[in-house]
Structure 1
Amino acid sequence: MATSKLEFPPVTTSSPLNISDFDHTPSYCEENVYLLCKKLSEIGVSKNDGSDLFVAFISNDHKQVPLWNQKASIRADGLIIWDYHVICVQRLGEGQAFQVWDLDSSLPFPSPLVQYVSEAIQPSFQVYPEYQRFFRVVHAPIFLRFFASDRRHMKDSAGNWISQPPVYEPIAAEDGTLHNLDKYMKIGAADATNVKDELIQRLLSENFGAVVGEGQFEDLFSLLSR
């Protein structure tokens, strides 16, 4: 299916940025986004505490989620089936729009949320139930404190790397936790909620945020902009 032909307004940031300015290790999207959130805060593109940033894990019970306009794809439309993917969503201001930072996307960096949903997620494209996408959204200040990965998920049964890891040390949580990535990646229909007050409370206070279906993903950020 061809991508949308809709026109979207350009996104502006406080300083010109190039995707090459950010660390990117293929197959380690969760760590890439962790470092991206930190850098956006450090260089003044986001708030010092990262409170305008949200981390979104995308997956489902079957670990098969289609996304379009992905650079790892060999197709002209950029379609690829990830087991999971991670992006950063930024609130531009009180009552204003949101934008998406996706280091693996061929869309503008960053892209307006409405454009990213239309062209990368493509909710209008009818997919089989096993490909339905769910989103675990975590407030970045919480994610940066509690996320941890020792990269065990990137080793095969013999202990060999499936994909070469980043050169820096694995990320540990402030409380000393060495690995909880599996809890962030566990995303499915049973985890989702559409109770508005519960969603916002979980998103802004819980270590593993809130889970919504793809039909509620944009709506969740609309609630936050009020």
Structure 2
Amino acid sequence: MTQFYGLVIALWHQKASKRADGIVLWDYHVICIQKSGGDPPLVWDLDSSLPFPSPLASYVSETIRPSFQLFPDYLRLFRIVHAPIFLQCFASDRRHMRDSDGNWSAEPPQHEPIVAEDGTVNNLNEYFNISAAEAMTDASINSFKEAVFTQKYGVVIKENQLEEIFSQISLQ
């Protein structure tokens, strides 16, 4: 999950864009990064207009664009959650898709709302809210692996750690 600290995250090559460069400002965005064996990590982004899946290095340079100069007040952070834990624990009853009068702000997906294995019906904010204070300062791969495989809400990393972490570990 990615988020601009405080506002939104700008991502390029998004299908929802009406612009030629494909930029969209998301309040949050979920992607899957697949890492297996010695193969390069792949990004599965259902909203991307890039090849599906895309190599992580290409996805970062084309979609996240770390070379794009942001205002210094904004810091792009990533919450990394191991897929089996996410699938067990995540829940969303879609309340974030309703306006203050209870009307849908966007057409909801046709599938049923997601309920966690423990019966929780909504914990989107726990995944969604990310702060710089949560970001790992110790880039140790062992610390990252231990945390990502055990923590319900995963770990938060900074933009410059994303490629490094997934290039050095195998998440099998």
Please give the TM-score of this superposition, normalised by the length of structure 2: 0.92
1:171 aligns with 2:114: yes
1:104 aligns with 2:31: no
CA RMSD of aligned residues (A): 1.5
Deviation at 1:129, TM superposition (A): 2.6
Deviation at 1:61, TM superposition (A): 2.7
Look up the match of 2:37: 94
Judged with a 3 Å threshold, the aligned counterparts in structure 2 of structure 1 residues 67 and 134 are, in CA distance, closer, same or farther, namely same
Deviation at 1:198, TM superposition (A): 2.7
- Distance (Å, rounded) in 1 between the aligned partners of 2:46 and 2:37: 25
- Which consecutive residues of structure 2, in runs of 5 or more, have no partner in the other structure? none
Q: 1:200 is matched with which residue: 145, 163, 170?
A: 145
Task: Name the aligned partner's letter for residue 221 of structure 1.
Answer: F
Q: Is the 8 A contact 2:92 2:121 kept in 1?
A: yes
* SS of equivalent residue, structure 2 residue 157: strand
- Distance (Å, rounded) in 2 between the aligned partners of 1:70 and 1:166: 18
Q: 2:128 is matched with which residue: 178, 185, 193?
A: 185
Task: Name the aligned partner's letter for residue 14 of structure 2.
Answer: Q
Look up the match of 2:25: 81
* SS of equivalent residue, structure 1 residue 117: helix
Task: Name the aligned partner's letter for residue 203 of structure 1.
Answer: V
1:222 aligns with 2:130: no
- Distance (Å, rounded) in 2 between the aligned partners of 1:129 and 1:97: 31
Deviation at 1:206, TM superposition (A): 0.7
The count of aligned residue pairs is 169
Please give the TM-score of this superposition, normalised by the length of structure 1: 0.71
- Which consecutive residues of structure 1, in runs of 5 or more, have no partner in the other structure? 1-56
Q: Is the 8 A contact 1:70 1:80 kept in 2?
A: yes
**Map 1:20-169 → 2, pairs under 5 A:** 57-91=1-35, 93-169=36-112
